[in-house]
Structures are given as structure tokens and as C-alpha cells.
Chain A
Amino acid sequence: MTSTTDPVRADRDNQKLGGPDATSKPRVHRRGALEYVAWAACALVAFGVIRTLLTNENYQWDVVAQYVTAETVLRGLVMTVVLTILCMTFGALLGLFVAVLRVSPLRPVRILAGAYVTFFRGTPVLVQLIFWFNIAALYPNLAIGIPFTDVSQDIDVNRLISATTAAVIGLSLNQAAYQAEIFRGGFASVDKGQIEAADSLGMSRGTKLRRIIVPQSMPTIVPATGNQFIGMFKETSLVSVLGVGELLMSVQLIYARTYQTIPLLIVACLWYLFMTLLLSYPQSQIEKKFSRTRARVSNDPAPGLTQTELMGEAK
């Protein structure tokens, strides 16, 4: 037997027998049996779901089709969209304010802002909504006036806080607490060196916040806020308990009359799903854009792997 130091030697022999050169052989991964099992199980579940959707007459798809573009339903949808936009706008603005208070140099201000967040995140939003709706029981009369003068105007709180106002106040205040946490997380993500550089130039707190911290925390804030927006869209269904005529309330009004509960709930679900899918496209675009900016914003070189690649198994 002739000894050799060439590790490819064995393959040269193989090549003589007609096999491929070792340098050009493809690298193959065998698909595991588990994957086939998973596909089979998946197909089985899908088959079952589709079969019951089509064969169970209680779904009453004809009723669904009849009501999906009914005027009452569409009016409810518009109300849902308006509520979402209003509450997100107020929530984001108030949330930014609370977040700024939470990084205040004054301890009592920080404590107050922290208490706000703790309270509104620590109690169910449904309870908060009902609370706002019944606020008149707590403060029956609101006196708006100019302090230290006789000029004042009594307002009947029961009339001031209609169901819709209670809904907007309740959802906005709750949203503000979550939004404040998002802003705070964003502020915390700004590199410490950036703050030091700004301090070193003698920048005031306000300028630092407006020109350095807020712009640089946008890559973390904007995608998270987008998710909140989608969440808020569904959360507005809660205000149906106050009798606000949004999407869920609209279908409830119909099925209270016709007793076609299931098909009308499906109508509502279809609209929620449609709108959520509609919003998730810009959301994914925003996330993509800001994950790029994120890399640029930091001093470090851009990361090579995206989240999905990291989550996936090694190839």
C-alpha cells in the first residue's frame, strides 16, 4: 500500500471509477422524518377546519354575505377607525409627555409619572372604561372657573361624559401608559456616549431631548407604536360595553333583533381581520426600514443577521 499525504487521494481513486471530483460534490442535508409528520398533521388540521366551515350550516354564510357590507356595520367600522386614530393620537402625545416626566431630574415628578403608569397598566382597561363612564357618580358637578375670581361655570358631568367621550378618555389614558413605557425604552436605547457628547457641547436638557434622544430612539419607538396601533384597533371593541356604536356594537344591535348571533360575529371578525392585515403591511415595511436605520444609528457595523434568520435553525 502506497502511503500519501494528500487527503483527496481516496477520492481520486473514486474518480477513476467514474464518481465526481471531491471538490465539486454537492453538500446535501437530509430532510428529517419529523418534517413529513408535521406537514401531514398540518394538512389534517386544515382539512378538518375547512370541512366544518363548509358543512356546518349554523355558520350561515349567506347571512354573513348579506350583512358584511350592511350600512350599520360599515358605520360601526368607521366609528372603530375614528376611535383608533383618536385614541392613538392622544395616547401617543400624552405618553410622550409622561415619558419625559419619567426622566425628569426632579424626583417627585418621576414618582408621579411612575404612579400613573403603574395604575393604568395595573388595572384592566375594561374596568377603566366603565369607571370613566360612571365618573359622574364620583364628581357630579365640575366647576370650570378662573381661580380667585367669581367667574365660574358649573357643568353637569353626566352630560359632559357621553359614552363616546368616556371611551376616548379611557382608551387614551390607558394607551398613554403603555406608550410612555415604549418611549422610555426608546430613550434608554440611545447610546450613553451620545448623551455625553451632547453634554460635553453644553447642550440643555430640552435640546438634548429634541435633537439627540428623540430622533435616535425613533427606530425602537416607531415599530412598537405600530404594533400598539394594530392592538388598539381590536381594543376598541371593548367600548361596546358602554354602548358606543363601533363595529362590535353594530353587529350586536343587529343580532339582538335577528338572533343571527354567529354569522354577525363572523362579519365583525372578518372586518377586524381585514383591517389588521391591511395595517400589518405598512407595519412590516416600517419595521424593515427602521431595522436598517437602527444599524446606521449605532456606531457599530450593521448586523448581518435579521431576526428571522437568528430564530431559524442553522442550515
Chain B
Amino acid sequence: MSQMNGEGTVHARGLRKSFGDRVVLDSIDLDVACGEIVCIIGPSGSGKSTLLRCIDGLEEIDRGVLRVNGEDLGFRETPTSYQALKRKEVAAQRTRIGMVFQSFNLFPNMTAQENVMSGPVLVKGAPKAESRRRADALLTSVGLHGHGDHYPWQLSGGQQQRVAIARSLAMDPQVMLFDEPTSALDPERVGEVLAVMKDLAQRGMTMLIATHEMGFAREVADTVIFMDGGLVVEQGKPADVLGNPQEPRTCKFLESVL
């Protein structure tokens, strides 16, 4: 199978996205190898969230190439155009991409365990008993052993975000996207979520992370991308981009956040 080659990769060429007249992503080129950890930094409104949302198929791109896990996302290329895939086909692609939201978005009508089971059981039709065991194991792996029967409102923000990560992992995604996963958390809860993400990074998961945590980016990322005004301004190894930025805009941003 040809798509096996592309598992865990993300490639974009000339990606463009606008909301009405406002261009939020302009000619983005991106190459993420399997197992690579990419941190996307930049000021608010720079387009980092939109880029991740495009890669998850939550937003449809206007133009350009976007290949996730080796397949064109949401469309099939023909000699003259990109033809939209059927809803079912898009859904199948999405099961292989995990997304963690800034506001967690756990299902409040389900317990932590049911949240983690929701993907396998409701989407893949996996047997319940097995999914339950798997969910418990995943909850344990994010440090929430014994919290399975808690509802989201009974958990702290950090705990909710870790359940959300477990929920994404339950689908066995090949790419994980994190949209400012710690921005909505109390400062003392940030560490526990970053620890889970660090652990995940060490296990070889492809990860794209929009974040304001510069320390985390420096420590964990293979590549840091600085975005501003819908453009990739600078990208490279964290030591280069964060330690020795070449672009004046990058310098200015880093000065303001560090």
C-alpha cells in the first residue's frame, strides 16, 4: 500500500486559507517527518491554530497541497482539480489524526472513561469490554488511574486535558495535533500536561504543537516554527530559532515573551 509510506507525516505546499477577505494562512510550506516533534510559536492571530485546524480537517483550505499520513486531506487529486471526498472517507482520515484542543472539549455527558472509549466504540465499533480495559490503561498512562468514573466537571483543568489526550490516543492516531493545550490551564497545572506530552514525544509519536511554552519547545521539539501574520517567518532547530533567531520579527517576539 502506497499510503503506508506516508504514515505519520505531514506535508504542505503553498497552503492558503482565508476567512472572507482576511488571509490567515499564506503559502505555507511544511514538512513533518514520522516521529518528528514540531512546535509552532508566534503571537496570537499568527495562524498557528488555523494551521493545526486545517491539518485536522476542521477548516477547509482554499488552495495548495496538504497531505497528512501520505494522503491528500479531505480531497482526491484529479488531473484538473481536487475533488471533495465523501463524508465517510474524510471521517476515516480523521480517525488517524488526533487533536487536543485548548478548551479540552471533553464530552460533559460522559465519564472520563467513556470519553476515552468514545472514539473506539462509537466510531470504530470496537467491543466495549476491551475498549474499557484499554481506556483504563490509557488513563493510567496519563497519570489518572482511578479517575475513570469522574465526570469532566469533577476534574481539574489539567486532569481534563490529560483525559482529552488519552481520548485522542485511544484512536491510535499517527499524527497528534495540540492546539495551545496548556493555555487555558492554571499555571500550576501546566507541568502535568507537558509531562504527558513529553512522554508521548519520547515514544516516537509525530506531534505538531502550537504553544507559548518556550521552555517546553526548546527541550522537546526537533523543529521550531515561528509564524506571524499567516506566514512561516523562520523555522529550524530549537537552539537556532529560539537561541539565535535570524529574523527581526522572531527576535522581537522572543524578547516580548521571554
Contact = CB atoms under 8 A, between A and B. Distances in A.
Interface of A: 191, 193-194, 196-205, 207, 211-212, 215-216, 295-299
Nearest to B90: A202
B226 interface: no
Contacts of A199: 57-58, 94
Contacts of B92: 202
Contact of B105 (A193, A203, A204, A296): A193
B109 A216 contact: yes
Given A201-B122, A216-B108, 14 more contacts: A193-B101, A193-B105, A194-B105, A194-B107, A196-B99, A196-B105, A197-B99, A200-B94, A201-B167, A201-B168, A204-B88, A204-B123, A216-B109, A299-B105
A200 B87 contact: no
A150 B42 CA distance: 73
B183 interface: no
Nearest to B123: A202
Interface of B: 56-58, 87-88, 91-95, 97-99, 101, 103-109, 118-119, 122-123, 151-153, 164, 167-168, 171
Contacts of A203: 91, 122-123
Contacts of B98: 200
B224 to A, nearest CB: 25
Nearest to B171: A201
22 contacts: A194-B105, A196-B99, A197-B106, A197-B107, A197-B164, A199-B58, A199-B94, A200-B56, A200-B99, A201-B94, A201-B119, A201-B171, A202-B171, A203-B91, A203-B122, A204-B88, A207-B123, A211-B107, A215-B109, A297-B109, A299-B105, A299-B106
Nearest to A210: B122
Contact of B58 (A196, A207, A298, A299): A196
A196 to B, nearest CB: 6
Contacts of A191: 105
Contacts of A197: 99, 101, 105-107, 164
A127 B164 CA distance: 53
Q: Which of B101, B118, B171 has the most CB of A within 10 A?
A: B118
Q: Which of A212, A297, A299 has the most CB of B within 10 A?
A: A299
B91 A200 contact: no
A201 B105 contact: no
Contacts of B167: 201
Contacts of A202: 91-95, 119, 123, 171
B95 A201 contact: yes
Q: Which of A201, A205, A212, A295 has the most CB of B within 10 A?
A: A201
Given A201-B95, A204-B91, A205-B87, A299 B103 contact: yes
Nearest 4 pairs of A and B residues by beta carbon: A197-B105, A202-B95, A202-B91, A193-B105
A200 B52 CA distance: 12
B127 to A, nearest CB: 17
Q: Which of B91, B93, B109, B167 has the most CB of A within 10 A?
A: B109
Q: Which of A191, A194, A196, A200 has the most CB of B within 10 A?
A: A200
Contacts of B91: 202-204
B108 A296 contact: yes
Nearest to B88: A204
Contacts of B119: 201-202
A50 to B, nearest CB: 49
Nearest to B56: A200
Nearest to B99: A200
A197 B99 CA distance: 8
A205 B104 CA distance: 21
Contacts of B99: 196-197, 200
A272 B87 CA distance: 51
Contacts of A196: 58, 99, 101, 105
Contacts of B164: 197
Contact of A211 (B57, B105, B122, B153): B122
Nearest to A211: B122
